């Protein structure tokens, strides 16, 4: 069997209804996984695309603005791979940023990542299995950005949490890694791409000469979910067209 095969594995992807999450769900299914597509909105389109391509998928609606919302999904479900992709962003000058916007972003982007991972790990360890966690970090796990204080704080937190959980769980059979996407053409970056000045500033710094595609992230997620990465844990993999090397 290929080291990149996910045949016989079950994966849960949060935020699988669109963008990067949808692309990851489709890529995991192509690699042979049965994929549970979780999202605040319906993931029916993602499930349709997977099943029409011959894969196996189902959907479940879960709103991670409640950080504990995904916990019940794991008991007895036999999930082997968890991709913590769901995330939100709020933009405002730091002098104007509200507590409500701070809490909303931190709840989804960081608190839910921890408690979803905890529920996954508890179930995997209870059955004596092995598992893979793939978190979606950001370039702003390393940089400050502007006008996104809670997003930046949350993604720094995701990078740190990835390393901590790897320290605790790798020896017990669960690897924990993260992907830090560069500037990807998704809903979250629509405001940036619609700003001609910012869009050109960003594009001018990317050595690859283009905005990333969701599919650029998806195949990296397959690697971190597959046996090929069994000796990789605690890593934050930059998939950014060379941005951080600039």
Q: Residue 192's CB: how many other CB atoms inside 10 A? A: 15
- pLDDT per residue as tens digits for the range 8-35: 999 999 999 999 999 999 999 999 999 9
pLDDT of res. 192: 85
CA–CA dist 202, 115 (Å, integer): 34
Q: How high is the pLDDT of residue 75? A: 95
Mean pLDDT of 107-112: 98
Could you tell me the pLDDT band of residue 220, with boundaries at 50, 70 and 90?
Answer: very high
Query: Does position 6 have pLDDT exceeding 90, yes or no?
Result: yes
**What pLDDT, in 10s, does the model give residues 158-181?**
999 999 999 999 999 999 999 999
Residue 1 reports pLDDT greater than 80:
no
Q: Express each pLDDT in 38-66 by its tens digit.
A: 999 999 999 999 999 999 999 999 999 99
Work out the end-to-end distance of the chain between its first and last CA atoms, rounded to an integer number of angstroms.
Answer: 38
Which of 151, 183, 223, 231 is catalytic? The answer is 151
Residue 190: pLDDT above 90?
Answer: no
Contact assessment for residue 112 and residue 83, using Cβ atoms and an 8 Å cutoff = no
In the predicted structure, residue 188 carries a pLDDT above the cut 80: no
Q: Which CATH class is domain 10-186+214-239?
A: alpha beta
Contact 37, 56 (CB under 8 A): no
> Token pair of 186, please?
């998704």
Helix pair angle (112-126, 149-169), 10° resolution: 20
Q: What is the pLDDT of residues 143-152, one digit of tens each?
A: 999 999 999 9
- 3-class DSSP state for residue 102? helix
Q: What percent of the chain has pLDDT over 70?
A: 100
H-helix segments, the chain:
19-30, 44-52, 99-106, 112-126, 149-169, 190-193, 196-205, 214-225
151 carries an active-site annotation: yes
Domain ranges (residues) in the chain: 10-186+214-239
DSSP state of 12: E
């Amino acid at each position: 069997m290929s080291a990149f095969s996910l045949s016989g594995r079950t994966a849960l992807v949060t935020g699988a209804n669109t963008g990067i999450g949808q692309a990851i769900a489709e890529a995991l299914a192509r690699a042979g996984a049965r994929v549970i597509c979780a999202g605040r909105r319906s993931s029916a389109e993602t499930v349709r695309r997977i099943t029409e391509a011959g894969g196996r998928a189902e959907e479940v609606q879960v709103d991670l603005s409640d950080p504990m919302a995904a916990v019940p999904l794991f008991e007895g479900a036999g999930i082997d791979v968890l991709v913590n992709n769901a995330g939100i962003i709020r933009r405002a000058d730091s002098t104007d940023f509200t507590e409500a916007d701070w809490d909303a972003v931190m709840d989804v982007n960081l608190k839910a990542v921890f408690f979803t991972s905890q529920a996954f790990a508890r179930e995997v360890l209870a059955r004596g299995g092995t598992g893979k966690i793939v978190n979606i970090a950001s370039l702003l796990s390393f940089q400050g950005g502007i006008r996104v204080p809670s997003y930046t704080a949350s993604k720094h937190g995701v990078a740190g949490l990835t390393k901590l959980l790897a320290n605790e769980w790798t020896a017990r059979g669960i690897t924990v890694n993260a992907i830090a996407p560069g500037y990807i053409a998704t809903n979250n970056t629509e405001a940036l791409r619609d700003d001609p000045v910012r869009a050109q500033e960003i594009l001018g710094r990317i050595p690859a000469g283009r905005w990333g595609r969701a599919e650029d992230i998806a195949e990296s997620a397959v690697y971190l979910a597959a046996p090929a990465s069994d000796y990789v844990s605690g890593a934050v993999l930059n998939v950014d067209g060379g941005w951080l090397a600039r």
